[in-house]
């Protein structure tokens, strides 16, 4: 019976992992992707709170111990501002406007969770159905800036930290052709930076704080750069 239970559990795990879609691979921006006839909207998801993440502290006790060990840095991280990160969509739109004629900035944040899942799955197909934005804003293509995490990160293996904390910005930019819901450009963006010198200087953590503001600037550059290089 014990063997059967273990086998059933293993089969369940395999079934779950088999349902997980592979991550979208990068798609470079080409000279033919942008043209002067397409109506392109630029939108941004709502910014997540500036926060401290502890990946790898998997069990509840591990997470509790890691949270206590990093409580001072976590409290400081939550006081850090987004700076001008909310203006990133305008910076991208300005760069994009030099390549395409009809560019519209959509002011309201995009709530990806409110969009239906796409009916068709496959390589380079968006997982969400963006057709409602095509009708609402009169667009041919939609450029999405998605910021998934911003703040600090310290990796763990159970109870044990595997390195010093890092400042981090994690997200992705992608251009969706609204006629067929395909990605024409996809760029994962993950920027990290360690403190110069000692990081453990509570309560203001000047080394990591300085690294955080550098990460914001480098992250914004990563989103804008594809439209200035073409």
pTM: 0.87
CB 69 within 8 A of CB 61: no
pLDDT digits (tens, 9 = 90+) for 63-79: 999 999 999 999 999 99
Average pLDDT over residues 55-65: 95
Give residue for tokens 């969509």.
89
Residue 44 has pLDDT above 80, yes or no: yes
In whole angstroms, what is the distance from residue 212 CA to residue 27 CA?
28
6 within some domain: no
| Residue 4, in any domain of the structure | no
Residue 154, in any domain of the structure: yes
- On whether residue 212 sits in a domain, the answer given is yes
Q: Which long-range contacts (C-beta less than 8 Å, at least 24 apart) are formed by 213-216?
A: 213/83, 214/167, 215/150, 215/167, 215/168, 215/169, 215/191, 216/82, 216/83, 216/85, 216/150, 216/169
Number of domains the chain is built from: 1
Q: Is residue 46 pLDDT above 60, yes or no?
A: yes
Q: Please report whether residue 165 resides in a domain.
A: yes
Residue 230 belongs to some domain of the structure: no
What pLDDT is recorded for position 100?
86
Tens of pLDDT, residues 136-187: 999 999 999 999 999 999 999 999 999 999 999 999 999 999 999 999 999 9
Q: Over 80: is that where the pLDDT of 228 sits?
A: yes
User: Which residues constitute the domain of residue 153?
Assistant: 24-225
Q: What is the mean pLDDT of residues 106-133?
A: 95
- For residue 38, is pLDDT > 50? yes
């Amino acid at each position: 019976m014990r063997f059967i239970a273990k086998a059933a559990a293993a089969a369940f795990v395999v079934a779950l992992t088999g349902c997980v879609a592979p991550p979208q691979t990068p798609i470079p921006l080409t000279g033919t992707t942008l043209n002067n006839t397409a109506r392109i909207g630029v939108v941004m998801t709502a910014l997540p709170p500036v926060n401290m993440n502890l990946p790898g502290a998997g069990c509840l006790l591990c997470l509790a111990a890691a949270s206590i060990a990093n409580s001072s840095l976590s409290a400081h991280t939550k006081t850090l501002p987004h700076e001008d990160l909310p203006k990133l969509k305008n910076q991208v739109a300005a760069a994009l406007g030099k390549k395409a004629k009809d560019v519209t900035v959509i002011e309201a944040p995009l709530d990806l969770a409110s969009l239906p899942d796409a009916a068709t799955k496959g390589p380079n197909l968006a997982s969400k159905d963006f057709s409602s934005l095509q009708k609402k804003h009169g667009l041919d293509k939609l450029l999405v800036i998605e910021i998934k995490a911003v703040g600090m990160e310290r990796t763990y293996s159970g109870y044990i930290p595997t390195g010093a904390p890092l400042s981090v910005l994690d997200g992705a930019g992608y251009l969706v052709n609204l006629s067929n819901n395909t990605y024409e450009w996809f760029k994962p963006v993950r920027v990290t930076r360690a403190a110069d010198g000692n990081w453990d200087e509570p309560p203001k953590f000047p080394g990591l704080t300085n690294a955080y503001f550098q990460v914001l600037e480098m992250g914004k550059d990563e989103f804008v750069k594809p439209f200035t290089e073409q």
